[in-house]
């Protein structure tokens, strides 16, 4: 997984695909979605149905993520290192779920790929930097609690993002346009959600910023 082998430098971007914003410095979680000028008018009516194969796969990926997360917690507590394979899996599940969400929220028309890897040619991308310096042994015991304030704000943003998705539904049906302001709000909500989940899984060790963007 080339994108997951990123070290301490800046995360790469690929020309012509989703831009991964760097406006928050070197925070190790970056997410970007490309907004189209026009969308397929009737796709909002059937996207939820087309995603059923992904929903089915994500159920099993989520079950696997629970066991991998528990095993990773033991490994970190004992060794202070996050096993690369476990880290790759958990980040991959987050990435897969994000692409499905972007499609579900009508942000992209391209059908999401069935892969845990980064898809550089897909218009919705998530990248996370591996903690090369290791993970403090205490983190698995408390990250779920520490992330609580951030997760509450994230939940509120996602609720509003649902309203933005409803607005986009009718806008695309009648005009084929996803309003820029609604798109940008949903993208920010997704970014907060990705940071919250990445920290809760202790795949990153820096607390997410309370910053818009």
Average pLDDT along the chain, 213 residues, taken 10 residues at a time: 38 44 69 95 95 97 97 97 97 97 97 95 94 94 95 97 97 96 97 97 95 85
Instruction: Count structural domains, the chain.
Output: 1
76 within domain boundaries: yes
24 within domain boundaries: yes
Q: Do residues 91 and 129 lie in contact, with contact meaning Cβ atoms separated by under 8 Å? A: no
208 within domain boundaries: no
- Identify any residues that bridge with 126 across adjacent strands, giving them in sequence order: 31
User: CA torsion sign, 59 to 61 to 62 to 66?
Assistant: positive
Whole-number pLDDT of residue 20? 54
147 within domain boundaries: yes
The whole domain housing 41 covers: 2-200
Q: Where are the beta strands (DSSP E) in the chain?
A: 29-33, 124-128
């Amino acid at each position: 997984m080339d994108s997951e082998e990123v070290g301490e430098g800046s995360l790469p971007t690929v020309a012509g695909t989703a831009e991964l914003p760097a406006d928050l410095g070197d925070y190790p979680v970056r997410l970007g979605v490309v907004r189209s000028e026009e969308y397929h008018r009737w796709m909002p009516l059937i996207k939820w149905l087309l995603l059923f194969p992904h929903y089915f796969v994500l159920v099993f990926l989520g079950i696997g993520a629970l066991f991998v997360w528990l095993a990773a917690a033991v490994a970190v507590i004992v060794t202070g290192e996050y096993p690369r394979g476990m880290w790759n899996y958990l980040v991959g599940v987050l990435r897969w779920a994000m692409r499905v969400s972007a499609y579900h929220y009508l942000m992209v028309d391209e059908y999401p790929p069935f892969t845990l890897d980064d898809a550089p040619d897909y218009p919705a991308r998530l990248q996370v930097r591996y903690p090369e310096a290791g993970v403090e042994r205490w983190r698995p015991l408390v990250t779920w609690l520490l992330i609580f304030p951030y997760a509450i704000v994230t939940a509120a943003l996602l609720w509003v993002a649902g309203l933005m998705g409803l607005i986009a539904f009718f806008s695309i049906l009648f005009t084929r346009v996803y309003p820029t302001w609604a798109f940008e709000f949903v993208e920010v909500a997704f970014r907060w959600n990705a940071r919250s989940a990445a920290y809760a899984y202790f795949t990153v060790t820096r607390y997410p910023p309370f910053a818009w963007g």
